[in-house]
Each structure stands twice: as structure tokens, then as C-alpha cells.
Structure 1
Amino acid sequence: EALRLVRACAVRGYDEGVSVDVHLNVDAKRTEERVRGQVMLPHGQGKTVRVAVFARGADADAARAAGADLVGAEELVAEVLAGRLDFERVLATPDALPALAKAARVLGPKGLMPNPKRGTVVTEVAAAVQQAKAGQVEFRAQNQGVVMVGLGKVSFGADRLADN
């Protein structure tokens, strides 16, 4: 019923985003109660995601073939340090992490620094790029135990929003 009301209550002149906020009965400050993960939305969020991949050699070629927007190692780190941040997701291979450490002060505060716990340090680069482009969404509980995730756009309709 709520998803049907979303379309009826949309009053803006543009395609509004739809998100869900779930209050969980967890204490996010306790490590054993942390909620964090990734999920594939079958219909995506309704926006294109620009993916940057820090990799070398064959992994870099695989990332380009899979559709990554920016690929590189030291040269891409230099661009990030110069202020180029026109991407939403960052993936890295384990061998590129030492070069990426220089950009940690730039990427970290924006939540873009690759981390094995978040699943952004990958060995299967092509599959990870395809999933990021297809609508993979990261979620985590905030301090008060609230998980907020965008489900899509109003134009999706109730069926596609329910699938997501």
C-alpha cells in the first residue's frame, strides 16, 4: 500500500527518488551487532554509476572490458590527488592498495576508500565492475540503528519498487 501511495504523493516536477528507512533494534556501537553489507537490486536505483578501478596489468584490461569508467594505478591516484572525484564507486585489486594509500585522505572522508570488509577490494575485477554497474547497493546501520537504502525512482511503479 505504501508503494502505491508513493506515486500518488509525488508532486515534484522531476522523477523523485524512493528510499526505505528501517529502524533495527541493534546497538551499532557494538561490533557484534553491526549491520553492513551489499545487495543487488534487480532493477537498479535508476541512475548510472561511475566506477573507478585501481588495478594493474591484466586486471586493468579486464576492468576496461567490463565497462569501468576510470582504470589505472599510480596515474589514477595522481588524478584523485589533483581533485578528480567524478565517480560513485571505487574498486581495487590487492596489488594496487599500496599505491592507493596516498589517496586515503581524499577518498576516506567521502566513503570511497576500498576496504576488504566492504567488499571493494576484489580479485575478480570484471564481475565486481558488472555488479556495481548493474545496481549493487551498499548499506550499513547508522549510529541509531537505522538502515537507509534508496530503492529507485517514482517512475519505476509499485511492482518494480517492490522487487527492489
Structure 2
Amino acid sequence: MATLTKRAKAANEVVDREKLYGIDEAIKIIKDLASKSKFDETVDIAINLGVDPRHADQMVRGVISLPAGTGKDSRVAVFAKDAKADEAKEAGADVVGAEDLMETMQGGDLNFDRVIATPDMMGVVGRLGKVLGPKGLMPNPKLGTVTPNVAQAVKDAKGGQIEYRVEKAGIIHNGIGKASFKEADLRQNFDALMSAVVKAKPTGAKGKYVKKVGLSSTMGPGLKIDLSEIEGA
């Protein structure tokens, strides 16, 4: 049997894995446990939904700007040419290109959190469907990542905007900030994301929509959240 680390033992003494925690209580415990880490851990949320994303009318996906930001510097790639390329660079895009960027991504360089494109570049970007699609990086006008206003899209992506998307198992995974954030800021981000997900309930969802919600840090245990504290759940 594997020997538990000191941190794991401490977590087991504090966390009841069967208990339903209040949101504020869970955030405090997660911050306290993560404070013993050697790096600034991400606080993650897992939202288990009563949907089957294989059906188009049960897909849950959108973008939201977290009020307190993400605590990380998102890497943004932009497909644009000429003046629009210059705008993207000035706005802080990490990489800007056209056919050359497409070839780079085809070669396996996908170290990006967001890919943005001007409408005229979708002919090029479309050839990356099998590469970007599985990563959830394919530009989409509904998500604001296919737009002529690339400068604003880059600023949004850099300023705390995240994309949420339900996975095959019906779960949404996202970071809502860093363990070093104030408790109030993590709560604000939690509420903002949960509100967006609840409002995005698809027409095809039947029965219980929000089934489970869990919070954890990068290296810490998961805490189950009391759904009675989540409006609309």
C-alpha cells in the first residue's frame, strides 16, 4: 500500500469526501490546503450535467469573462492579414499569421488557450478542423472567436475570458482562479461561471440539469458542493 504524503494525510483529516460543502466553506478549505504547496495552484471546478453532448440539442458551450480574472496569461493565436494582423499584434496576441501559422499548427504546435480568426481567414482555418476541433480551439463566430474586431477579441481572451464546454461524459471542467486569490474573488468567479452554465441549459436537457458540482485545487482533494446554494441548479 502506498504511503500517504504529509499533505495527503492533512487533507484526509480536514476533508470529508462524502459531505456536501457550502461554497464559501469549500473555497476556504481549498485555499488553506493549497497554501502549503510550493506553487500557486489553480482552483478547478467540475460541473456534472444531465446532458448527452453527442446530441446537438444537448450541447452546453459558451464564453464568459471571469470578474476577478483567471490568474494566468492566456496564449492567443490569431489568423489575420495586413491591418488586422497589426491590430492583433498591438492588442497583445502571442502569434499572428495566415498560411504560415496554419502550417505551424499542422506540425503540432498547439500551445494556445484561444485561437481567433478574421472571417476572411476561415478558408485557411477550416483546413485545421481535425487539428483544432478535438482541442476545442476551432474559431467559432458564436463564441466571438471569428470576428473582424480581432483587437477586442484578443483583449477579452487576455483579460479573463474563458470558454466552457461540456465534455463527452457530460462534465464541464474549468479553472476559476488561483489559490492565492482572495476568497471573495474565487466566490465571485464561481458564481459567474455557474450562472452562465445554468442559463445555457439546452432545450434537449431532460430531468435534473446540474447533477453534481465539485471544487478542488491542482494537487488537492475534491470537495462536493451543496447544490442548494446554487441558484437555478
Whether TM-score is above 0.5 comes out as: yes
* 2:71 equivalent among 41, 46, 49: 46
Q: Distance in 2 between matches of 1:143 and 1:111?
A: 12
> What is the letter of the counterpart of residue 132 of structure 2?
L
Query: For 1:35-56, what per-residue CA distance to the aligned partner results, in whole angstroms no more than 9, with x for missing partners?
Result: 1111101222211111110011
SS state at 1:97 partner: helix
Alignment match, 2:21: none
> What is the letter of the counterpart of residue 9 of structure 1?
L
Q: Distance in 1 between matches of 2:72 and 2:32?
A: 22
Q: Is the 8 A contact 2:144 2:153 kept in 1?
A: no
Query: For 1:105-152, what per-residue CA distance to the aligned partner results, in whole angstroms no more than 9, with x for missing partners?
Result: 333333222233443211211111100000111112223432222111
Q: CA offset at residue 78 of structure 1?
A: 2.5
Alignment match, 1:120: 145
Structure 2: give runs of 5+ residues left out of the alignment.
Answer: 1-24, 190-233
Q: CA offset at residue 95 of structure 1?
A: 0.5
Q: CA offset at residue 2 of structure 1?
A: 1.2
SS state at 1:155 partner: coil
Most deviating of 75-84 and 39-48: 75-84
Backbone CA RMSD of aligned residues: 1.9
Alignment match, 2:156: 131
Query: For 1:38-95, what per-residue CA distance to the aligned partner results, in whole angstroms no more than 9, with x for missing partners?
Result: 1101222211111110011221121111111111112222222334333221001110
Most deviating of 135-144 and 27-36: 27-36
Alignment match, 2:129: 104
Q: Distance in 2 between matches of 1:24 and 1:125?
A: 32
* Length, aligned pairs only: 164
Identical-residue share of aligned pairs (%): 48
Q: Distance in 2 between matches of 1:17 and 1:41?
A: 14
> What is the letter of the counterpart of residue 73 of structure 1?
A
Q: Distance in 2 between matches of 1:84 and 1:161?
A: 32
Most deviating of 138-147 and 33-42: 138-147
Q: Distance in 1 between matches of 2:30 and 2:186?
A: 10
Most deviating of 99-108 and 30-39: 99-108
Alignment match, 2:50: 25
- The 1:36–1:29 alpha-carbon spacing in structure 2 relative to 1, beyond 3 Å, is same
Alignment match, 1:4: 28
Alignment match, 1:90: 115
Structure 1: give runs of 5+ residues left out of the alignment.
Answer: none
TM-score calculated relative to the size of structure 1: 0.88
After TM superposition, list the pairs within 5 Å mapping 1:47-62 onto structure 2. 47-62=72-87
- The 1:12–1:34 alpha-carbon spacing in structure 2 relative to 1, beyond 3 Å, is same
SS state at 1:152 partner: strand
Q: Distance in 1 between matches of 2:157 and 2:125?
A: 20
Q: Distance in 2 between matches of 1:31 and 1:102?
A: 23
> What is the letter of the counterpart of residue 65 of structure 1?
E
Q: If you compute each CA radius of gyration, which structure gives the higher value, 1 or 2?
A: 2
**1:72 counterpart = 2:97:** yes
Q: Distance in 2 between matches of 1:28 and 1:84?
A: 28
TM-score calculated relative to the size of structure 2: 0.64
